[in-house]
């Protein structure tokens, strides 16, 4: 089974800081661990393409047996702002990136648009993404109010586009009381992927601190990851697996060691389930 890495898994930093480790170092780490893909961001691609052509970058990826699987992250569309998406869609088309991750981040005092307007804007976004040959992966986020799994599921069902689905992050699933209910009821066509991570039953520190600093490698915590995997497989979906373990421990490691430990944990989990 293919396992891929989110951008933050190996960056060694959290936004808005740039990655602490260079792209070539992270690419080698993914390849050396047996991973097959990684995510990147527009800002990083802008920097890479300042010194290399798209063909040279594709050749480098091919040499490592790794591909871009995701662009992170598209925001602003829900407020009617299309400008940030232009580069994302252009790069998705240039490199054949299969999905762009997005979320509705409602930082107070921001409020969610009315349901009809939100659906209209999301549908239009998905149609523009389809023209670029990519999928929109909508991730429910529970560290901010206003857009949990129920809200995200309702939106994806409302637009029902073939290139729109939910990106389930295990941390958010198990921190949302309705997370597993959505997982067990989602249609296969509405599943865009699963980000594996683990955690403690009770959050350590604030919910935000737990989200960005205290996650654990798959199989090392209390989350029922076997049940989550089984529930998603029961939908009939072909679920792409990636890893996003946000942890002060892993951020302190060099990418090769981070990737090695991560892949060992994921393989152990999958062998058990």
φ and ψ at residue 102, rounded to 5 degrees = -145, 165
What's the predicted TM-score (pTM) here?
Answer: 0.96
Domains for the chain: give ranges and CATH numbers. 3-272 (3.20.20.150)
pLDDT in tens, 48-98: 999 999 999 999 999 999 999 999 999 889 988 888 899 999 999 999 999
**Distance from C-alpha of 144 to C-alpha of 158, rounded to nearest angstrom:** 22
pLDDT in tens, 9-46: 999 999 999 999 999 999 999 999 999 999 999 999 99
Does 146 have pLDDT greater than 80?
A: no
Does 227 have pLDDT greater than 80?
A: yes
Amino acid 165: pLDDT: 98
Does 177 have pLDDT greater than 90?
A: yes
Sequence-ordered list of residues with C-beta below 8 angstroms from that of 67, at least 6 positions apart, any chain: 36, 37, 61, 96
Sequence-ordered list of residues with C-beta below 8 angstroms from that of 56, at least 6 positions apart, any chain: none
């Amino acid at each position: 089974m293919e396992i891929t890495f989110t951008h933050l898994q190996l960056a060694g930093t959290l936004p808005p800081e740039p990655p602490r480790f260079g792209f070539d170092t992270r690419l080698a780490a993914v390849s050396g661990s047996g991973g097959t893909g990684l995510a990147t961001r527009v800002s990083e691609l802008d920097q890479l393409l300042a010194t290399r052509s798209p063909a040279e970058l594709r050749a480098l990826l091919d040499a490592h047996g790794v591909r871009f699987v995701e662009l992170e992250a598209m925001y602003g569309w829900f407020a009617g702002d299309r400008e940030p998406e232009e580069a994302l869609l252009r790069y998705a088309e240039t490199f054949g990136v299969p999905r762009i991750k997005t979320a509705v981040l409602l930082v107070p005092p921001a409020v969610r648009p009315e349901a009809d307007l939100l659906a209209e804007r999301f549908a239009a976004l998905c149609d523009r993404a389809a023209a670029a040959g990519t999928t929109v992966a909508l991730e429910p986020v529970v560290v901010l109010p206003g857009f949990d799994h129920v809200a995200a599921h309702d939106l994806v069902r409302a637009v029902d586009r073939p290139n729109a689905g939910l990106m389930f992050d295990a941390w958010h699933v198990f921190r949302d009381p309705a997370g597993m209910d959505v997982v067990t009821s989602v249609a296969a066509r509405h599943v865009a992927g699963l980000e594996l991570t683990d955690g403690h039953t009770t959050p350590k520190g604030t919910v935000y601190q737990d989200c960005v600093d205290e996650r654990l490698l798959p199989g090392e915590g209390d989350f029922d990851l076997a049940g989550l995997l089984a529930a998603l497989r029961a939908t009939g979906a072909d679920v792409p697996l990636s890893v996003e373990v946000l942890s002060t421990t892993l951020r302190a490691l060099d990418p090769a060691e981070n990737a090695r430990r991560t892949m060992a944990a994921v393989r152990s989990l999958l062998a058990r389930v």
